Structure 1
Amino acid sequence: MKFITSGVALFAALAFSAAHADDVQVAVAANFTAPVQAIAAEFEKDTGHKLVASFGATGQFYTQIKNGAPFEVFLSADDTTPLKLEKEGDTVKGSRFTYAIGTLALWSAKDGYVDAKGKVLSDNAYQHLSIADPKTAPYGLAATQVLGKLNLTDKVKDKLVTGQNITQAFQFVSTGNAELGFVALSQIYKDGKVTSGSAWIVPAELHEPIKQDAVILTKGKDNAAAKALVEYLKGPKAAAIIKSYGYQL
């Protein structure tokens, strides 16, 4: 009898959880694709809520949000865009926070092509250098800052291949359309090591910090899943996943 009672209680708890589970529509900066996919699986398992992600460039998401896109949470690749949306009244007050600090890497799909100090960049023996669009993608802006600090802007300007976002910049290199390119470390890194090709992890002092902020958008103000996701991103399980992809917290 005791077993039946506990079984009924468990069934009721599961039914209650399922009945109160919600979807949350999330605009995710392209550099955070792999981590958020891992986080989404754990988030759904732990909370019952489902994270529905769209991936793209931060600047493009800003335009979409201003034009009424149905996003409820925004995981940006910078801290300025969420702040701008906050000032313009498009976010839930007090919900903005930094969920990760990104790392830039110079990467080639070829083993041994990029040396540990990035000298390949100044050697100028390559034909194409891939970057994300600096007007819409913070990692692309950081890449231009690195080139400026190294006095290479003019030398490489005719070699640049520009992707709409960091995913496309990565694809140009992975498919061989560019010998090397600036990518997010998270795209080529897992559990303490570069997973393919060769890379130079760009020193942080060569560009402005890539502080990535999250915020609940106005459309998500009454969605329990949106609030739950923001809290989950601050928790230890999400933090461990984020760090495993080379981000700082």
Structure 2
Amino acid sequence: MIRVVCVGLLMLGWALAQNTVRVVAAADLQYALSEIAQAFLRQNPGLKVELSFGSSGKIYTQIVQGLPADIYFSADEAFPHQLEQAGRTVPGTLRLYAVGRMVIWASNRLVQQGLDPRQLGPRILLDPRVTRLAVANPVHAPYGRAGVTLLERFGLLRPTRPARWEEMTAGIPAYYDVAPLQRGKASFEFVYGENISQTAQLALTSTNIGLLALSIAKSEAMERAGVYWLAPLSSHLRLNQTFVILQGQDRPEVRRFYDYINTAEAHRVLRKYGFLLPGEQPE
């Protein structure tokens, strides 16, 4: 009798697992992908979607180390491509789903002091009152890498020694001349978030300003607390955001969610949060 009960519980657990789509995703998708999953479940009431968010690079490392997941959404194309090259994905499923946008976000507190990023753009960072800047850690966060290249594009950082992104563990000033950002200030420091969602929280609670994803800046909390300047696509590392089904996980329910990302309903949500769809150009 005990054996039968145990087998029954195991079979129940197996059935529940088969009806669950496990999604690991870049933190810039926190709001958009949650809405997409809710819409998907309304059309597929027998299924379940588990969402986990973090930095693309850290998720990549966890997948390599055996993280159980079905679909991986990255904020870039490099990490999924590395998984594909290593034979850790379902062949032919690596696909571009959106192009990400960067912003400089500032709190209403700074705006009230005359520091409005919509008017100043990157020049806001030169003001003596801006002494701390929230940025995602470029070691493993694509939006952190894009943020560094944005500052470099506008002459606010100058490289001093070459290093691959994943090697920049000593912090941005160890690899770049930050004199333009320090000039006329008693101090200046970068405050690093482990992912772009945590970076937004740092901007909200600590620094009052940050280099953020447009998809995060367009959330209700961030729009209520501040305003942003949208960076031109050409001014930073291009964020070609891709997703892929992981090796051994091409089950019908997984494929159903994977295909749903290319529907008009999912595209509407991605546009709502400022993503460009494949082939689209900014207005």
Query: Structure 1 counterpart of 2:274, which letter?
Result: G
Deviation at 1:208, TM superposition (A): 2.0
- Which residue pairs with 1:240 in the alignment? 268
For the Cα contact (< 8 Å) 1:21–1:50, is it kept in 2? Answer: no
User: Which digits, 9 at most, give the CA deviation of each residue in 1:25-81, with x for residues without a partner?
Assistant: 111100100001101111111123221011100000011000100011001010111
TM-score w.r.t. structure 2 length? 0.76
Query: Structure 1 counterpart of 2:22, which letter?
Result: Q
- Which residue pairs with 1:126 in the alignment? 130
SS at match of 1:41: helix
Write the mapping of 1:190-205 to structure 2, written as runs, cut at 5 A.
Answer: 194-205=223-234
> Do residues 29 (structure 1) and 26 (structure 2) align?
yes
Deviation at 1:122, TM superposition (A): 2.9
Write the mapping of 1:104-115 to structure 2, written as runs, cut at 5 A.
Answer: 104-110=102-108, 112=111, 113-115=115-117
> Do residues 138 (structure 1) and 142 (structure 2) align?
yes
- Which residue pairs with 1:4 in the alignment? none
- Which residue pairs with 1:7 in the alignment? none
User: Which digits, 9 at most, give the CA deviation of each residue in 1:146-204, with x for residues without a partner?
Assistant: 111111121337421111111111011111x112101111112169x945412111111
For the Cα contact (< 8 Å) 2:90–2:246, is it kept in 1? Answer: yes
User: Which digits, 9 at most, give the CA deviation of each residue in 1:184-229, with x for residues without a partner?
Assistant: 11112169x94541211111111121111010001412x2221111
Pair 195,240 (structure 1): closer, same or farther in 2 beyond 3 Å: farther
> Do residues 98 (structure 1) and 96 (structure 2) align?
yes
CA distance in 2, matches of 1:144, 1:135: 11
RMSD: 2.1
- Which residue pairs with 1:152 in the alignment? 156
CA distance in 2, matches of 1:56, 1:127: 27
Runs of 5+ consecutive residues of structure 2 not aligned to the other structure: 1-14, 158-177, 183-187, 278-283
Runs of 4+ that moved beyond 6 A: 18-21
Query: Structure 1 counterpart of 2:31, which letter?
Result: A
Pair 125,36 (structure 1): closer, same or farther in 2 beyond 3 Å: same
- Which residue pairs with 2:44 in the alignment? 47
> What number of residue pairs does the alignment pair up?
229
- Which residue pairs with 2:252 in the alignment? 224
TM-score w.r.t. structure 1 length? 0.86
- Which residue pairs with 1:73 in the alignment? 71
Pair 80,124 (structure 1): closer, same or farther in 2 beyond 3 Å: farther
User: What percentage of residue pairs aligned between the two structures are identical?
Assistant: 31
SS at match of 1:93: coil
CA distance in 2, matches of 1:37, 1:62: 20
CA distance in 2, matches of 1:184, 1:225: 30
SS at match of 2:24: strand
SS at match of 1:142: helix
CA distance in 1, matches of 2:190, 2:81: 30
Query: Structure 2 counterpart of 1:200, which letter?
Result: W
For the Cα contact (< 8 Å) 1:142–1:207, is it kept in 2? Answer: yes
